[in-house]
Amino acid sequence: MKIIESNLRIDSLQLECGETLKDVNVRYHVIGDIERNFDKIVWVCHAFTANSNPVDWWPGLVGEGWLFDPNKTPIVCVNVLGSCYGTTGAMSINPDTEKPYLLTFPLISIRDMAEVHQKVKEQLGIKKIWVLIGGSIGGFQLLEWEYMYPGTAENLMPIVCSAKTSPWVIAISQSQRLSLLADSTFRDQEIDGGKEGLKAARSIALLSYRGRSSYNLTQQDESTDLLDGFRADTYQTYQGEKLIKRFDAYSYYTMTKALDSHNMGRNRGGVEKALSQINAKTLVVGIDSDILFPIEEQKHLAAMIPNATYAEIHSSFCHDGFLIEHEQLTSIIKKFLNLE
């Protein structure tokens, strides 16, 4: 399997917030041969803390032997602007100060991320994407991209996302930011600061990703006589420790702000008007137990996008089900693409 990890340099990038980023680096993966299979390119827009190699984090859907096998359908994925896996973000050096941005990093929107995707697409010489797919914030990106550059993709697949970030999701994001700000090492902008705050933020996020049904299914204690030391306690702690080994607090803060910024209707006459201008064949997927982006939000997307179909995954794993229920998702996508 051919894997290329590369970079795109952008001298200057105008952001939606009005600021300009200089000397931007964009890290991306190309997995497979896009020249040999130019008509079957799959572009994956990654979720919140993922990287640009979906073979790592979307097993069962992407990789050799799965639905999107890079030997047949080459995969492209870009590490989003503001993240910390090679693309310019809060831990990058500000060329004006020669110090890391940290909390001075500007507000990044989903539209800024989409603009970066377009620049990578142009560098790779890709005329049209066969399947443009992403879950959660990845779904935000592909919707914005197709609106901003009509005809980008033949098939859109926004999964467990919405047309606009709800007050519910924004409140969850702010709760995570408050956790970060409660950590003095984060407020003081220490270079490795915010680790304790990030663990707490991750714990809050997991509740919204996994929900009651998932925890009650997977975190039951074997003993019915415990007074302390519950399995759910150790799980939350473990997940926080795991994240701080691969992600930093400043990039996490940036990403929460980007998540909150999502609004397809901003300065476009409203959400419905914006969605009505997306003409690509679209598969919208929801999960019946998702409490972060409930299925009524995906149904709304499908109703507003002219050439859209809605499909639903049944799962006890709530929002994270899009990463877990790969058999159901594969079946849904195959039916949509007439691959059965």
Cite the active site residues.
136, 290, 319
Can you tell me the distance from the alpha carbon of 244 to that of 230, in angstroms, rounded to the nearest whole number? 22
The encoded tokens of residue 26 equal: 């964009």
- Taking the C-alpha atoms of residue 176 and residue 174, their distance in angstroms, rounded to an integer, is 5
Nearest to residue 275, comparing CAs of 308, 246, 253, 236? 308
Tokens of 242: 């795991």
Measured distance CA(335)–CA(339) in Å, rounded:
6
Q: Encoding tokens for residue 309?
A: 């179909």
Question: What's the rounded Cα separation, in Å, for the pair 98 and 173?
Answer: 30
DSSP symbol at 101: -
Q: How far apart are CA 136 and CA 281, in angstroms?
A: 19
